[in-house]
Structure 1
């Protein structure tokens, strides 16, 4: 019983830390309609009636087809043009808001008719937050990181930023990180520190 209480306390503490990191950040979509601190997590997560993807996903996934990065001088290993729900679901979760095809308020379980802020008349993210469906000019995502090419670090040294050996949006971005890294980066990119995790140029 004592062990269960300790585990429960740790889980609750971790949840409160994640919520605190979102409060007043770029991902605090409650501002503007429901007030700061009201239903912050609901735009992405729900404890009940979640979508069939993890982590307790609440937002409608996009059904868009994406144009992925490609270069005549770069060979990408296993760079599919669609997200099949496997390890690559991480980027699909991000794009469900950031590709501009699904309204931010399009969620499976809505507690208080939350609408969110920084949206156009259709409830879609505008400005720099909308990357669209043409990802050809963005860093490759949803690709297997080979780590054997010239200019790349060995994959075994960067497993903490890979998802099933793939590069995803979360390889560079940490949505629960409200630090001063800008663009919700996983680490500050001072001296290209973020880039040199994978690239050894």
Structure 2
């Protein structure tokens, strides 16, 4: 079982790797976007104490506070075996995505692979953001949350296996101004920041294509590095895919673009030590991220 001592050790290791430490308390870090994942929006323990967004009183009703940063996605024990993702702790829903349909390439896009499904497990709006299968504390593992429970079943299971910070509802990042977006919408109810751009839904036709193979030809740059199932642009020549290097993943159908090709969910520091916006691996300044792959 996942215990708080083991998890605290994992979180501490992540914090020590940075200059700015997350306090671990329930007060908000103001989303500094600096130094550690604890200071980004992917730290789902954050509840702002006053002003600038939903307070603890508002958030505790709709999202369990597990008081650990990593546990919303990862667990050292009892990981979900239904997806090839590192020690994955989240519910996996069987979902068919509507794919990008304006390809001029000689191949069709395939359904997203694990390096996209991990992101979409929140961003497609089908699953509560606090839906994990191995909650902190003894006796909090629930295999029934591992694969494809519907939304109502998920909420029932989460309530039954709740922590001391009980949510009586469990919100997902919907794309139609419900659940999370009932506050995190363009109107900014309660001072909440607008997250509507991050609610992708299951229709991916208006997003950069995923599940498309590494192209060839004069219009594309060629990645110089290969590591296991990754082809990557080895910009520093160290023969390893670093956080700030774009990459393609082979999930069994050849090297393809996935969400994690361009985004690192843990954040990539920029020149000022702050994380690049929207967890991008390469800055958008002067279209550098586009020109990594595209020759224009």
* Same fold? TM cut 0.5: yes
**1:182 corresponds to which of 277, 291, 296:** 277
8 Å Cα contact 1:46/1:109 also seen in 2: yes
Secondary structure of the equivalent of 2:132?
Answer: coil
C-alpha root-mean-square deviation of aligned residues, in Å?
2.9
**Does 1:169 pair with 2:273?**
no
Matched residue, 1:27: 42
Quote how far apart the aligned CAs of 1:111 are. 1.3
Gaps of 5+ in 2: 1-11, 23-34, 48-59, 138-161, 174-180, 182-195, 226-230, 234-246, 269-273
Q: 2: distance between equivalents of 1:97 and 1:183?
A: 15
Matched residue, 2:198: 129
Q: 2: distance between equivalents of 1:183 and 1:96?
A: 17
Q: How does 1:21-170 map to 2 (within 5 A)?
A: 21-32=36-47, 33=60, 38-52=67-81, 53-71=84-102, 74-75=104-105, 77-80=107-110, 82-83=111-112, 88-111=113-136, 113=162, 122-125=170-173, 126=181, 127-148=196-217, 150-156=218-224, 159-160=232-233, 161-164=247-250, 165-170=255-260
Quote how far apart the aligned CAs of 1:181 are. 1.7
Pair 115,66 (structure 1): closer, same or farther in 2 beyond 3 Å: farther
Moved more, 48-57 or 17-26: 17-26
Quote how far apart the aligned CAs of 1:63 are. 1.5
Q: Deviation string for 1:8-45 (max 9, x for gaps)?
A: xxxx856853886211202111112477x931111100
Q: 2: distance between equivalents of 1:14 and 1:61?
A: 25
State the TM-score, normalizing by the size of structure 2. 0.54
Matched residue, 1:8: none
Pair 96,75 (structure 1): closer, same or farther in 2 beyond 3 Å: same
Quote how far apart the aligned CAs of 1:132 are. 0.5
Pair 114,144 (structure 1): closer, same or farther in 2 beyond 3 Å: farther
State the TM-score, normalizing by the size of structure 1. 0.77
Matched residue, 2:293: 198
Gaps of 5+ in 1: 1-11
Count of residues in Structure 1 that have an aligned counterpart in Structure 2: 178
Say which one has the larger Rg.
2
Pair 98,115 (structure 1): closer, same or farther in 2 beyond 3 Å: farther
Q: Deviation string for 1:34-86 (max 9, x for gaps)?
A: 77x93111110001111013200001123121001021x61253521x34xxx
8 Å Cα contact 2:93/2:126 also seen in 1: yes
Higher relative contact order (CA 8 A, sep 6+): 1
8 Å Cα contact 1:145/1:155 also seen in 2: no
